[in-house]
Structure formats: structure tokens, C-alpha cells
Amino acid sequence: PSNQTKLHSFFSQK
């Protein structure tokens, strides 16, 4: 669903 956020919005890539 479009209202699901992704982890990349919160955590940065190592």
C-alpha cells in the first residue's frame, strides 16, 4: 500500500 513507509526514510545506508 502507498501509505507504508520504508526503512530508508529512517536509517541511512552504512
Residues at the contact surface with other proteins, assessed by CB under 8 A: 1, 3-14
Between CA 10 and CA 6 the distance in angstroms is 8
Q: How far is the CB of 4 from other proteins (least distance, A)?
A: 5
Sequence-ordered list of residues with C-beta below 8 angstroms from that of 5, at least 6 positions apart, any chain: none
Q: How far is the CB of 9 from other proteins (least distance, A)?
A: 7
Q: How far is the CB of 5 from other proteins (least distance, A)?
A: 4
Q: Residue 7: helix, strand or coil by DSSP?
A: helix
